[in-house]
Structure 1
């Protein structure tokens, strides 16, 4: 189930277009002077639930998540800074988006419009109960639509499977192994040292040169040396809005949270000491260390179960990957049979019948296995598949035991299915015929209610309904709101086919425009927020499109195949 060249090329182009658009927006954000402080980035990262344990930021969890995704802390923090800067732009646009009272009333009049109607429904399930297709009709339908009654292509598979879960159950570490694991990594079960810092940030920008910022930072350092209050100076001078109001307080943080020059200066201080101005990409920082939270550890007995689980997992992984590699080699050495591999690896050959090109059974819809099983080498050549990873910690090698091609299913097997189809088709036709006959009589001047009464039918009144009412089928609701409003109080009668084969005849009696005054204040406010968001999204999309159209883009010649891309 590989992608076609056309679809693959389209995905590549869409990805490239998205990258170009993001870069264009970021360039605009930077030129416009949007900036996010290091502390704002740190606060944002510490608030992400993926990096929290027990509701608190965990540096080990953060490091593990980055390692699992092959990302460095610097790259991830740069990405988050860019995200926050773009969010500033979005917030600015959202804050300036507006619409006039007349526009709001017009939107509410449409959005909250209600329509009062009555309708009658011709249900094919009811009509179909009286329909019995003849043998001749069944035979004719079967002959005409024989391609629809083919059995699915399937294969019966023999396979060998190994899993990490099975390997993990077989190992129980002894006391010596547990002690060794504890002693080999004494820092593993210790929390990192954390430092409580305050800072005053003097920013550099269009309104302040680097030299002016350094001079102001030196002046503040002198005031602190003369006994000035750090918190008061932070509130007065700091360019970090996230901490200035708190007297520059940054709270506790371990290594790896702040940019390198800031961290180096902070971890060189003793409690109560203040640094000289420290230059970073954000400007000049004056840092004060308030307190140190020492590293804390757990003793052996506290972590015994954790050690045992870790050793079991490591042993299982070693055994699993060694056996998987051996199984792959054995399957290739004897490509025409699984028996040698099963014998050498101590595994049992399993069997699964009825595997299709959509997958199935214990294998799910794994695309790698589907591609391998239905390849010429395996399907026609009788070879084993290579080792296939079904999901993390679970692999198989398979071969085709029997291949069953599509074939016509006998009429006796599909007769009930054909009867149901014919009954449904004829019932839907009958429903539409009856509904249109009623419409025709009404259009010639007969009263709709009287016409229905003559057929022992009656209209169902819903009362006024909104566009999103759950009381009516979607197709009927859509038709009702597309129908012109009654003129001079004269109802409008229409008909519509529904997705399930039903046919509805309805009479639209009146249209009631939405009135903002009838909507509770909290709902009006919510509606205004939604409209403002839509307006802001439209403005941001227009800005992004304009930036993209003006951007100079150079695409490397070898990025795509020559025949795949046109610029």
Structure 2
């Protein structure tokens, strides 16, 4: 089979690029559906197509996955962007191309293998075994038919087999590997002279005319985005919990009715000596182990004070033997039943007879008792009060949420009605810009992207009305209103003169540093031996360049070893202009087996991906792919709402 793969390498490598199996995990396979045939086609592949509904489902799944990873507060708009939709459409097209190619060629998955694969999915197992009812119920919850899901899964398995077989049989050319390793590990010796822009600031002459010219030529740099000041009110559980009263008599009544909840179970402390004889041990070995245990029991009975010493010397329980067999305190259910039954039938200080369990033969000494007891009311009062406050707050929040929502909407000219009605504080935020729409919400930040978006709506800005109540987190509602608004503007020069001057000085300082550096570079290139002003010799390689700017590493690494010493000049962002005299290129150290394997793996991934991109482009032509929509900046209502959670009324 591998010979076939090697022969057809270009045909097969395309599967390395496509992520075939993210949807192999059972749940979240909405992308498998082929329903809604009347949906607008976004792309056509031979006789197949990718529909708007399929793209919406895929984006919904992506949003759900991100929220599972990073929390439910993450805004869908940060994930479901026009660029993300275009990338997702490309991925769906590539999946269709792979499907078409495999179906028209050679890969077949047997029914038996398909059954085994489905049966191994944990989501459709009950007590570790495949459950048909769970399988059918799971498919129904995703709107899938058995036939449709199994056909797509069969295709994915075939694709995965190709990818796995190809990647496991691929060979990285040794000469290429060695050359790349040498280039990455080769030590390069150099000396540096840095012309810092800050050192030239005092030489920059600035007058009003120069400032005006710079300001007029760079107006875009000084634009200030629109910004607003807002007030907002928050209804959340911590706020509501301050509104509820927990009655002392209710706390006491709860305690009296729930004694079992505050009851600690009896615990016992024991030590043991173990002679191992597992359940599957042969009968004669079992007999020998028991005889050995009985001999140890006789020693312990003769001198009970020696129990710990004998346990340390003779117990075969590696965990407890070093501590004299001490197992600490434990309750019922912590130990195997024969052991537990023996311990809970003993008196403190008593030594058991030989007790057999699945692990072998035990000699047990009961060394301590903690009788069952009910924690006092004073011990648990605060715990009960806290729980009751949470329960009352949750109930009251449910009652107030609807009132809060209605009040801020129906009396939208002011927060006064909702503040007086619910005794809520009014908070203020200033300097809010649209930039926050593209930033993820931070934990505890109630001004989420949805709130900011509502504040910047035309109605909020023009009429200064309350926004609707927006759920920014579980059990957290926010309404905001614009207090002051400033449109985008470019301040006059007089207003921002210090900032303009600072930028002009920085620009001119960098120019002077570059000119001085260029002159030094020219002189050094003519006379490499004139090293005055250059620093001590340093060494760097592509693989060990963490503390060297990448622009510098790239420039000195491109220097030819046959023309040394050689000087290069580099703009160093944020610092100035650097002169670098490369003096030597050393031999790369010998590759360790671990490093060679790591490089080979990385090279295989890179080359496979690059070749796969070309192959996918070829296959798109073969299967007559036609993309019907490429601009997702303006989405339909249905598409735009694909990943937007339903708003609560």
SS class of match (1:479): helix
Aligned residue number for residue 552 of structure 2: 476
Contact 1:93 1:539 in 2 (8 A): no
Aligned residue number for residue 246 of structure 1: none
Shift of 1:162: 0.8
Contact 2:408 2:415 in 1 (8 A): yes
SS class of match (2:562): coil
Contact 2:415 2:466 in 1 (8 A): yes
Aligned residue number for residue 414 of structure 2: 337
Q: For 1:556 and 1:175, how far apart are their aligned partners in 2?
A: 70
Shift of 1:379: 0.4
2:583 to 504, 509, 514: 509
Aligned residue number for residue 598 of structure 2: 526
Aligned residue number for residue 229 of structure 2: 156
- Over 3 Å counting, the alpha-carbon distance change for 1:409 and 1:532 in structure 2 is closer
Shift of 1:318: 5.2
Q: Trace 1:187-206 onto structure 2 (pairs within 5 A).
A: none
1:420 to 474, 480, 502: 502
Q: For 1:101 and 1:138, how far apart are their aligned partners in 2?
A: 60
Aligned residue number for residue 229 of structure 1: none
Q: For 1:468 and 1:523, how far apart are their aligned partners in 2?
A: 14
Aligned residue number for residue 283 of structure 1: none
Shift of 1:542: 5.4
- Over 3 Å counting, the alpha-carbon distance change for 1:2 and 1:131 in structure 2 is farther
2:456 to 363, 371, 374: 374
Aligned residue number for residue 180 of structure 2: 107
Shift of 1:401: 2.0
Shift of 1:124: 1.2
- The reply to whether residue 33 of structure 1 matches residue 101 of structure 2 is no
Shift of 1:479: 1.3
Report the RMSD for the aligned CA atoms in angstroms: 5.2
Gap regions ≥5 residues in structure 1: 182-300
- Over 3 Å counting, the alpha-carbon distance change for 1:508 and 1:420 in structure 2 is same
Shift of 1:435: 1.4
Aligned residue number for residue 97 of structure 1: 170
Contact 1:359 1:365 in 2 (8 A): no
Contact 1:150 1:407 in 2 (8 A): yes
Q: For 2:489 and 2:480, how far apart are their aligned partners in 1?
A: 25
Contact 2:204 2:505 in 1 (8 A): yes
Contact 1:486 1:508 in 2 (8 A): no
2:565 to 473, 478, 491: 491
SS class of match (1:337): coil
Shift of 1:320: 3.3
- Over 3 Å counting, the alpha-carbon distance change for 1:105 and 1:143 in structure 2 is closer
- The reply to whether residue 433 of structure 1 matches residue 515 of structure 2 is yes
Contact 1:378 1:400 in 2 (8 A): yes
SS class of match (2:472): strand
Q: For 1:139 and 1:556, how far apart are their aligned partners in 2?
A: 50
Alpha-carbon displacement from aligned partner over 1:423-455 (angstroms, at most 9, x marks no partner): 322221111111111233345x4x2342x53xx
SS class of match (2:502): helix
Shift of 1:16: 2.5
Contact 2:234 2:478 in 1 (8 A): yes
- The reply to whether residue 448 of structure 1 matches residue 528 of structure 2 is yes
Q: For 1:397 and 1:134, how far apart are their aligned partners in 2?
A: 50
Shift of 1:103: 2.8
- Over 3 Å counting, the alpha-carbon distance change for 1:400 and 1:102 in structure 2 is closer
Contact 2:227 2:434 in 1 (8 A): yes
Aligned residue number for residue 277 of structure 2: none
2:192 to 99, 119, 127: 119
Shift of 1:382: 2.5
Shift of 1:97: 0.9
- Over 3 Å counting, the alpha-carbon distance change for 1:125 and 1:86 in structure 2 is farther
Q: For 1:42 and 1:307, how far apart are their aligned partners in 2?
A: 46
Task: Tell me the TM-score normalized by structure 1.
Answer: 0.58
- Over 3 Å counting, the alpha-carbon distance change for 1:117 and 1:2 in structure 2 is same
SS class of match (2:542): coil
Shift of 1:480: 1.5
Q: Trace 1:324-403 onto structure 2 (pairs within 5 A).
A: 324-359=401-436, 363=445, 366-403=448-485
Shift of 1:339: 1.9
Shift of 1:125: 2.3
- Over 3 Å counting, the alpha-carbon distance change for 1:356 and 1:313 in structure 2 is same
Contact 1:165 1:393 in 2 (8 A): no
Aligned residue number for residue 45 of structure 2: none
Larger deviation, residues 469-478 vs 143-152:
143-152
Aligned residue number for residue 294 of structure 1: none
Aligned residue number for residue 500 of structure 1: 574
Provide the aligned length of Structure 1 versus Structure 2: 415
Larger deviation, residues 110-119 vs 367-376:
110-119
Task: Tell me the TM-score normalized by structure 2.
Answer: 0.52
Shift of 1:405: 3.8
Q: For 2:99 and 2:404, how far apart are their aligned partners in 1?
A: 50
Gap regions ≥5 residues in structure 2: 1-74, 259-373, 376-381, 640-649
Q: For 2:612 and 2:220, how far apart are their aligned partners in 1?
A: 51
- Over 3 Å counting, the alpha-carbon distance change for 1:33 and 1:545 in structure 2 is farther
Contact 1:467 1:481 in 2 (8 A): no
Q: For 1:180 and 1:15, how far apart are their aligned partners in 2?
A: 57
